[in-house]
Amino acid sequence: MSVETARSIILLRHAKADWPQVSDHDRPLAERGRKEAPLAGDWLAKEGLAPDRALCSTAVRTRETWKLVVPKLPARPKTVYEDRLYEASLGELIAVVNETPDDVRNLIVIGHNPGVHALADALSARADDDAAARMNRSGFPTAAIAVVSFAGDWKSVEHGMDGTLTHFWTSHT
């Protein structure tokens, strides 16, 4: 009989982006986003949420967000820039997460809405404290973070799984 490994998936929506005359994929962070992203990193560090691996969308705004978050963490995790996270559906997000190596216990995904919010909802059968109520009340604003814990391997991650939303944070009031 094998013991199921406790894991967590940290879902981070990119910080506030600007709207210059560039393709959506190439939109950079706005000034507000450059202030939000380090706050998200500070919160992760304060909560002791240290990812072993990062999956980051290749969009400019997600890469810039991650670049401002990661210096706040106690250690820099291996980062994989993943084209499939940009404009990913719930099913596509789950497929990418399912490819995570077994030695990863804590995964952070830096992506976009509505996907990150949908993934947090889909993986959370229950929530600690009022995390789900806060997440649903606020939507999933820029630079928001949801953390879902579960037991099992990454291949078992699927819609409706028995995960627990342990944290929801946003710098927005």
Binding residues for substrate: 61
CA distance linking residue 59 with residue 56, whole number of Å: 8
Q: Spot the catalytic one: 47, 87, 92, 158.
A: 87
Q: How many CA atoms lie less than 13 Å away from 135 in the CB half-sphere?
A: 30
Q: What angle do CA 59, 35, 10 make, to 5 degrees?
A: 55
Q: Spot the catalytic one: 14, 112, 117, 167.
A: 14
**Kind and range of the H or E run holding 164:** strand 163-169
CA distance linking residue 128 with residue 122, whole number of Å: 16
Q: Which residues fall in the annotated binding site?
A: 61
**Kind and range of the H or E run holding 132:** helix 131-138
Could you confirm whether 47 is annotated as catalytic? Answer: no
Going by the DSSP 8-state scheme, the letter that residue 5 receives in this structure is P
**What phi and psi, each to the nearest 5 degrees, are found at residue 11?**
-110, 115
How much helix, strand and coil, in percent to the nearest 5, is found in the chain? Answer: 40, 25, 35
Could you confirm whether 14 is annotated as catalytic? Answer: yes
Catalytic residues: 14, 87
